Chains A and B, each alone.
Chain A
Amino acid sequence: MLYFSKWKAFAILAVSALICLMAVPSLLSTSAYDSLPGFLQRKIVLGLDLQGGSYIVLQVDAGELRKGRLEQLRDDARRVLRDARIGYSGLNIQGDTVQVRLRDPQDGNAALTQLRTLAAPIGGTLSGTGQLDTDVSLSGDTIALAPTATGIQSRTIQAVSQSIEIIRKRIDQLGTTEPSIQRQGADRIQVQVPGLQDPSRLKALLGQTAKLTFRLVDTSMSAQQALQGRPPAGTEVLYSQDNPPVPYLIEQRVLVAGEDLTDAQPSFDPQTREPVVTFRFNTNGARRFAEATQANVGRPFAIILDNHVISAPVIREPILGGSGQISGNFTVQQANDLAILLRAGALPVPLQVVEERTVGPGLGADSIRAGLIASIVGASAVALFMIATYGLFGVIANIAVAINVGMIFGVLAMLGATLTLPGIAGVVLTVGIAVDSNVLIYERIREEARAGRSAISAIDAGFTRALATILDSNITTFIAAAVLFYVGSGPVRGFAITFGIGIMTTVFTAFTLTRLMVAIWVRSRRPQHVPI
């Protein structure tokens, strides 16, 4: 146990030193860090609880997603039946299905064949598994179209991917540093923005679908009349965001939608000096907008964002240039945010904020200080106690533990892991537990010496026997850390990481460094009795 070949000793020292050195880039200033070659640019990321910032989890609104899918199915069914000239007496959404009641039951099979074309294979035709996203079934004179569970699932996953792209565009516009946007599970998106103190603007930006449409206002009756009676077919009543909200009777037909915008910028109206958003359409949008305004001079049209009427100006003259402006009593920031939303595009489904954690920079700095003080005090107390108990061997243990901590940070940097306050607690705890491996070895050596062995033989046997125990006891602790990593989230995961890495480095140093140092001491001193 105490013999090390030169090569082995060298390898142990080299590996330990290398791992410790991996922690160095994390200590450098930003400019020095950036000048490092690419493979060395790995560092420990400070968790949001230490550097301050905002953590937000958004969830795809499953109900809205299902509703949207059903509405789309209903509209598609209407189009398909009309194209095939199949008569129906009823077409509506009931629960989780779209029900089509045929006028003539004879048409059953023809209608079924036509409606089956609406069911698309999941994942596209190329990589699909052959499963369809919609069940189409006929019973009597009624055909039911039901989105399948896997179909909804794949749409959810798609919606999350698309949303991540749009969220990234929106957040990038805010000019924050290094935001992280990740998928979490099947239907969630986790957004982390370091340094952000008040996420209410961010939440407002992310909480809007930002679906923009230009539609005509129906002037055949007033909105009040429509509310009391029945609105004419193909129209609906929408409200403005004023206080109290003003109702408008709006045609459902969309003249131009947000997808046809190429640019949107905040600016000021040259006449009224109030903040507005100017926009430009693409060719397609410009043409359609020109046609619509030409045909409807003198009538009001409405600009609608997420089912709210932003403004409803009267068309004074045809707008042919493909650009225009939206005014709606905005503040400067509102105009700014609307421009951001329009540039980034609409979310495929509404998102809900389900979790938010924000730490101010003051608390973050306090936590770093607290963690640092606790580490220094804890480590010094343990180190002093070890020296008082084991003398020179205590010093050896302390060196091993110090290198151990260096290696924890080295591994954290290599993994690009996040260091949180509980993570620092994990390091402090590792110091307490890492010395345990030394204690096990030293106590065993003392026992063997008391049992009458010579010093060298006692040291040798002490190591052999203690190492088996160290392995056994640390594996169980490691299992606990691994489970914690698996089920934990955020700061708790940070604890699991440092604690787990700490256990591995502890076993490594016990098997190599401590042994090597004791072996070197034994060879140079040739001790006659054990000094502990």
Chain B
Amino acid sequence: MRLLRIVPDDTKFDFIRFRRISFPISAFLSIVALVAFFMLGLNFGIDFKGGTLLEVRYPNNTLNIADVRSTLESLNLGEVQIQEIGGDGEVLIRVAQQPGGEQAQQAVVGEVRAALGDQVEYRRVEVVGPRVSQELLSYGIVGLMLAVFCILIYLWFRFEWQFALGASIANFHDIVLTIGFMAIFRIDFDLTSVAALLTILGYSLNDTIVIYDRIREMLRRYKKMPTDELLNHSINSTLSRSVITHVTVTLALLALVLFGGRAIHSFSVTMMFGVVLVGTYTSIFIASPLLIYLGVSTRAIAEKEEKEAKATAARSKAERITP
């Protein structure tokens, strides 16, 4: 049987020179993302904004959106969003947070239920009070920062500081782009989005580290090779793996996007963007070329090792002298 071969053996793409294009593109996209984030803001779901969400199904085509709208508007609950979903008589009703503390939020569910009656199926009801939504948001932010910090520390232990810094910049770039994507496409930003961001972080790093590992290995082995050639060689020799893994993860995510259901839809779509579009691109076109600017070079490594060798020699000499 002839096996599928997506990437031919011994590719020789000049990824490092491509940084003259990829860096400006990334810088531009990051600015677009940041502008979108600050101008449009994120589409916070009720986890972070507080309020009430009801998912209701009207059986046997009894749904009349206009009726639902006028019924709910007569309740005077402030901002009420009504959205038909799935086409199966299902409506998503979002009621903004009410003034008047925790009790007021609870009252909303009772009023809406009373107004819509018992003929409909209440598929999901969520009420998040002002105190909890505040906490969830700060937990989410703390979580993201904590993750970045822990990973940075780990990389610093495991690699040289340049690699840790390079990976962090690349990661930051991923998060910024993903958040920009969510702002532009108005994707619900809720707790599962934080999960998506953290997974994107972990996955993108996973990819970056595979290449960094190879770069480190090559640096030890080929001390005479010019740095950009060495980086290119490292990326090219791991390219087949990058592409194949990329395909498998895409397949898994595609299944989640298409069949995983609405409850995790924003999660899957965000992951699709972050992992498939951004993560792999970042590892190859951003994280690795960055190392040049951060002072990783074959010469620096050679010099450092020479120095260490001398130091060891001196120490052993000293040891020999002292009895």
Contact = CB atoms under 8 A, between A and B. Distances in A.
B122 A197 contact: yes
B251 A381 contact: yes
Interface string B229-249: 000000001101100110111
Given A389-B4, A429-B252, A480-B147, A421 B263 contact: yes
A389 B246 CA distance: 13
Interface string A438-478: 01100100110010000000000000010011001111111
**Which range holds the interface residue count of chain A?**
35 or more
B267 A378 contact: no
B202 A488 contact: no
Contacts of B142: 487
A443 B240 contact: yes
A433 B279 CA distance: 13
B3 A480 contact: no
Given A362-B121, A447-B237, A477-B202, A483 B255 contact: no
A439 to B, nearest CB: 5
Given A371-B260, A425-B260, A476-B154, A382 B251 contact: yes
A170 B308 CA distance: 72
Contacts of A488: 143, 191, 194-195
Contacts, number: 243
Given A59-B131, A374-B255, A374-B259, A421 B202 contact: no
Interface string B264-294: 1001100100000000000000000000000
Interface string B200-232: 011101110110011001000000000000000
B205 A477 contact: yes
B192 A433 contact: no
Contacts of B209: 469, 472-473, 476
A353 B130 CA distance: 11
A13 interface: no
Contact of B125 (A357, A382, A468): A357
B17 interface: no
Contact of A477 (B57, B131, B203, B252): B203
Nearest to A384: B251
Contacts of B125: 356-358
Interface string B106-137: 10011001000000011111111101100010
A83 interface: no
A40 B146 CA distance: 37
B192 A479 contact: no
B102 A476 contact: no
B191 A354 contact: no
Contact of B146 (A363, A446, A483, A495): A483
B261 interface: yes
B57 A356 contact: no
A353 B129 contact: yes
Interface of A: 49, 57, 59, 197-198, 200, 203, 207, 352-360, 362-363, 366-367, 370-371, 373-375, 377-379, 381-382, 385-386, 388-391, 421-422, 424-425, 428-429, 431-433, 435-436, 439-440, 443, 446-447, 450, 465, 468-469, 472-484, 486-492, 495-496, 499, 532
13 contacts: A355-B132, A356-B125, A381-B255, A391-B3, A425-B260, A428-B256, A468-B213, A473-B206, A474-B206, A479-B147, A484-B194, A487-B143, A491-B191
Interface of B: 1, 3-6, 9-10, 55, 57, 102-103, 106, 109-110, 113, 121-129, 131-132, 136, 139-140, 142-143, 146-147, 150-151, 154-155, 158, 191-192, 194-195, 198-199, 201-203, 205-207, 209-210, 213-214, 217, 237-238, 240-241, 244-245, 247-256, 258-261, 263-264, 267-268, 271
